[in-house]
Amino acid sequence: MSSNATQPAAADPKTGQACAPAAQAPARRISCKDLAAMRALVSDQWSDWSNEFVVSQQLIDQFAALSGDDYWIHTDPQRAKTEGPFGTTIAHGMLVQALASRLKMPLDYEIVGFGNMVNYGSDRLRFAAPVPSGSAIRARCRVKAVEQVKSGVQLTLEIAIHVVGNERPSVLNDQVILYM
């Protein structure tokens, strides 16, 4: 996992794209082969917030077309306004999860010394709160576990994606990363 040690950046409200981040802070370099140093990353403390990204109706519609999940609560703003529980359309949980790669979480470390790094999946994935169309999201993370496994070192990174201004996360993911 490479460090994204940047200050949170504002998002362009039209495109949802992050504006240019501030200068990067120096990162601690931690070898994935140094199990004690890797385990020292485990913490109850969350990282600082990432940049923000706007989840537009256009993006939701594109995801619906790609995934085949065109349920009206995601794609029909008029019906969602009159019949839906949220008063507007909401993003697919899997879309919000996929947008985690757009959210650059500021980390003060960089893991080095591996030949390959693989997203090994999730130990836990929850869609705890809706993301209304047009909302800005941001994320923070923390290292939940590190363990030596047969094929390398496995790190579990807990990622919480929130709608900006909401205390309750919309997505919680215990992402498992394998360093080989």
Q: How many CB atoms sit inside 10 A of residue 119's CB? A: 10
**pLDDT at residue 118 greater than cutoff 90:** yes
Position 114 in a domain:
yes
pLDDT at res. 2: 42
Instruction: Name the residue with tokens 């030596």.
Output: 148
The predicted structure's pLDDT at residue 24: 58
pLDDT band at 62 (very low <50, low <70, confident <90, very high): very high
For the chain, the domain total comes to 1
Cβ–Cβ < 8 Å for 88, 60? no
| Res 64: pLDDT | 98
Considering the domain boundaries, does residue 136 fall inside one? yes
In a domain, 8, yes or no: no
Residue 33's domain comprises 28-54+91-179
Q: Fill in the DSSP letter of residue 101.
A: G
Mean of pLDDT values over 131-143: 98
Reading the block at residue 114, the tokens are 């591996």
Q: What is the arithmetic mean of pLDDT over 132-147? A: 98
Q: State percent of the chain over pLDDT 70.
A: 86
The model's pTM is 0.84
Q: From the centroid of its chain, how far is CA 133?
A: 17
Residue 79 lies in a domain: no
- Take residue 62 and report the two structure tokens written for it: 């594109």
Considering the domain boundaries, does residue 39 fall inside one? yes
Residue 9 confidence (pLDDT): 40
Q: Counting every residue, how long is the chain?
A: 180
- Residue 19 pLDDT: 42
Q: Which tokens go with 168?
A: 């309750």
Q: Is residue 142 one of the residues assigned to a domain?
A: yes
**pLDDT for the residue 25:** 57
Any domain includes 37: yes
b/e per residue, 95-116, with b = 16+ CB within 10 A? bbbebbebbbbbbebebbebee
With respect to residue 71, please indicate whether it lies within any of the assigned structural domains.
no
Mean pLDDT (whole number) for 65-75: 97
Question: The domain spanning residue 41 has which CATH number?
Answer: 3.10.129.10
